């Protein structure tokens, strides 16, 4: 667990098409949402891995809101995150009050089609992850199964048992982890490799996942070299701030602290 302040990158994933349940849940808020681009916002510590996004996760039992940012944009996140944002000059004109346009449960957002910045997939889906914490980040987790053991284990669960998780197999069948970073010890798909080595069978294998996460983080940061995108061949330590800056510059991300 992280202690002290965390410097996250807030990744903006634009809603392309709401799931059927989301459309029904939001029908009553049509007026408030009219003309707004809605973005799911994910807090990440690994902006350099965004080339490998294959989906995004929400907690199916968590409660989310859609918050007014400015004339054109609204963000979907937890209320806790919206309150943090209100103190960080993220809302138009430095507004410090929050303006909620709608309430929506995670389960209803699942199946929504979104655009994930830098991903090779032009559109990806919102999927359920049971271990998303309401007390961390935005409650939205972008999924990079090549480099995050938690993301890979969860995606594998969903592929194995779509009915159990109430998802359409078409939302996951096309998805494969995308090589983003090469490390000398674990190749270019470190998360699947570590899940294999540590015999991780599901998102519930907490202890092995914590170990795998630690190794993946250190290996990627200290020994990793980018194998995709603008910084192909560049060390992760060097590429990370550059990818982050480019995402912020293009308006696809912003600095989010907690
Ligand atoms: B990371 P820390 Cl490729 N609940 O982003 C559970 N996990 C959450 C969360 C929440 N509410 N909010 C953010 N996270 C995840 C990418 C990534 C991440 C990679 C590899 C490792 C990794 C893609 N998922 O995190 O406790 C997010 O996943 C391992 C540390 O604040 C975020 O970064 O240190 C990370 O946990 C933040 O965790």
In a domain, 1, yes or no: no
In a domain, 2, yes or no: no
Atom of ligand 1 nearest to the CA of 151: 24
Nearest CA to ligand 1 atom 31: 2
In a domain, 162, yes or no: yes
Integer Cα distance of 93 and 97 in angstroms: 11
Residue with tokens 């998780």: 165
Residue 183 belongs to a domain with what CATH number?
A: 3.90.740.10
In a domain, 35, yes or no: yes
Atom of ligand 1 nearest to the CA of 220: 20
Question: How far does residue 135's CA lie from ligand 1's centre (Å)?
Answer: 12
pLDDT tens sequence across 150-178: 999 999 999 999 999 999 999 999 999 99
In a domain, 103, yes or no: yes
Pocket test residue of 3, 6, 43, 257 for ligand 1, highest count of atoms within 8 A of CB? 43
User: Domain count of the chain?
Assistant: 1
Q: Contact at 8 Å (CB) between 253 and 115? A: no
HSE (CB half, 13 Å, CA atoms) of 77? 31
In a domain, 172, yes or no: yes
ipTM (interface pTM): 0.98
In a domain, 168, yes or no: yes
List the domain range (segments joined by +) for residue 123: 7-257
pLDDT tens sequence across 76-93: 999 999 999 999 999 999
Q: For residue 2, name the pLDDT band (cuts at 50, 70, 90).
A: low
Integer Cα distance of 22 and 216 in angstroms: 35
In a domain, 97, yes or no: yes
């Amino acid at each position: 667990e992280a202690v002290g302040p965390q410097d996250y990158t807030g990744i903006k994933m634009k809603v392309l098409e709401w799931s059927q349940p989301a459309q029904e849940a939001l029908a009553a808020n049509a007026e408030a949402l009219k003309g707004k681009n809605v973005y799911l916002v994910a807090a990440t510590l690994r902006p350099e891995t965004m080339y490998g996004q294959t989906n995004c996760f929400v907690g199916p039992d968590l409660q989310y809101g859609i918050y007014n940012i400015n004339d054109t944009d609204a963000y979907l996140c937890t209320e806790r995150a919206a309150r943090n944002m209100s103190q960080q000059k993220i809302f138009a004109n430095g507004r410090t009050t929050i303006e909620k346009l709608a309430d929506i449960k995670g389960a209803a957002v699942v199946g929504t089609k979104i655009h994930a910045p830098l991903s090779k997939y032009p559109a990806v889906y919102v999927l359920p992850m049971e271990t998303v914490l309401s007390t961390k980040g935005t409650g939205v987790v972008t999924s990079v199964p090549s480099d995050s053991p938690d993301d890979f284990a969860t995606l594998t669960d969903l592929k194995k048992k779509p009915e159990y998780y109430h998802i359409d197999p078409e939302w996951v069948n096309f998805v494969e982890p995308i090589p983003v970073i090469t490390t000398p010890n674990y190749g270019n798909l470190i998360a699947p490799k570590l899940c294999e080595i540590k015999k991780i069978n599901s998102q519930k294998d907490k202890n092995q996942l914590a170990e795998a996460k630690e190794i993946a983080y250190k290996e990627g940061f200290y020994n990793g070299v980018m194998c995709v995108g603008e910084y192909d061949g560049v060390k992760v330590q060097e590429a990370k701030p550059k990818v982050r800056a480019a995402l912020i510059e293009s308006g696809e991300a912003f600095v989010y602290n907690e």
